[in-house]
Structure 1
Amino acid sequence: MTPHELWTALPQEARERVDAFVVRRMRMHAVKEMREAGLVPRPGLYDCADLAVVRTEILADRLVPLPAQDVDTLAGKAAALPEPPTALELEWDGDSWGWILLLGAVLPGPPGCPRPLARWQQTDWTEPLATARALADRLGVPLRGPGDDGPPYAGAE
């Protein structure tokens, strides 16, 4: 099913909810809304994901701005944590729309999941990696995780 066919098949109320999710950058919620809109047969996951991309492009001028992720802003987020971080950790993650670089703060105490500070989804990783290094330097903590090579398997796409 093409994005246009799926869009025209959706009830008006579902279209409005899909667009509301897309504008708030909640594409997976938009996909869920499409799949649960009562269409028979139920639209496929990839068809819904493709339509979410199309709607994101159409509504680009209305998207909620991404949060600031500069060193000063992230240092403020780190300062608001219950304890100062002992390290920062970078991790690659992939989703239906590409690679994501996650930056988390490791807190003292028993090992657990790092507290999220930032996430970047793009193709030029120079600025996010430089921001993470500068933040680690400012906080005086080590930066762990991947180097400057980009996401794993990125060349295999």
Structure 2
Amino acid sequence: MTPHELWTALPQDTRERVDALVVRRKQILAVKEMRESGVAPRPDLRDCVDLVAARMEILADRLVPLPPRDVDALAAKAAALPGPPVALELAWDGDTQGWILVLGAVLPGSSGRPHALAHWQEAVWTEPLATARALADRLGVPLRGPGDDGPPHVRAE
């Protein structure tokens, strides 16, 4: 089903809820809203993801801005954590749009996932890596994780 076909099949109230979620960058919830809309047959996951991407382009001027990801903003975010980080960690993650570089703060005694400070979904990784290194230097903690080699699927073999 094309995005246009799915959009026209959705009830008006569902379209309004989907757009409200897309504007707030709640993509997964927008997909869930479509899949639970009562449209028969139930929309395919890939079709819903494609429609969310199309709606993001259409509503681009209304999207909630991404939070700042500069060193000062991230240092303030780290300072607001329950304790001072003992390390920063970079990790690759993927979603339907591609690879994401996630920067997390490891807290003392934590055995779970690091506290997310920022994420980047971009083709050029030098800026996020430089930001992560500068933040680690400012906080006086090590930076762990991938280096300059880029997402797993584009690494030189």
- TM-score strictly above 0.5: yes
Once the two structures are TM-superposed, the CA of residue 63 in structure 1 deviates from its matched residue by 0.2
- The residue that corresponds to 1:83 in the other structure is 83
TM-score by structure 2 length?
A: 0.96
Answering whether residue 59 of structure 2 is matched by residue 71 of structure 1, we say: no
Provide the rounded CA distance (Å) in 1 between the counterparts of 2:46 and 2:115.
Answer: 31
Answering whether residue 97 of structure 2 is matched by residue 97 of structure 1, we say: yes
Once the two structures are TM-superposed, the CA of residue 76 in structure 1 deviates from its matched residue by 0.6
Once the two structures are TM-superposed, the CA of residue 82 in structure 1 deviates from its matched residue by 1.6
- The residue that corresponds to 1:113 in the other structure is 113
Runs of 4+ in structure 1 deviating by more than 3 angstroms, as ranges, are none
The letter of the residue matching 2:150 is G
Could you tell me which runs of 5 or more consecutive residues in structure 1 were left unpaired when the two chains were aligned: none
Provide the rounded CA distance (Å) in 2 between the counterparts of 1:154 and 1:54.
Answer: 26
Q: How many residues align structurally?
A: 155
SS at match of 1:132: helix
Once the two structures are TM-superposed, the CA of residue 154 in structure 1 deviates from its matched residue by 3.1
SS at match of 1:105: strand
Answering whether residue 56 of structure 2 is matched by residue 59 of structure 1, we say: no
- The residue that corresponds to 1:36 in the other structure is 36
The letter of the residue matching 1:140 is G
The letter of the residue matching 2:92 is W
Percentage of matched positions with identical amino acids: 75
Could you tell me which runs of 5 or more consecutive residues in structure 2 were left unpaired when the two chains were aligned: none
Once the two structures are TM-superposed, the CA of residue 123 in structure 1 deviates from its matched residue by 1.2
- The residue that corresponds to 1:19 in the other structure is 19
Once the two structures are TM-superposed, the CA of residue 110 in structure 1 deviates from its matched residue by 4.4
SS at match of 1:116: strand
RMSD of aligned alpha carbons: 1.0
SS at match of 2:39: coil
SS at match of 2:55: helix
Provide the rounded CA distance (Å) in 2 between the counterparts of 1:29 and 1:83.
Answer: 31
SS at match of 1:90: strand
- The residue that corresponds to 1:125 in the other structure is 125
TM-score by structure 1 length?
A: 0.96
Once the two structures are TM-superposed, the CA of residue 83 in structure 1 deviates from its matched residue by 1.4
SS at match of 1:18: helix
Provide the rounded CA distance (Å) in 2 between the counterparts of 1:81 and 1:59.
Answer: 33
Please give the per-residue CA displacement for 1:72-92, whole angstroms capped at 9, x wherever unaligned.
000011111121111100000
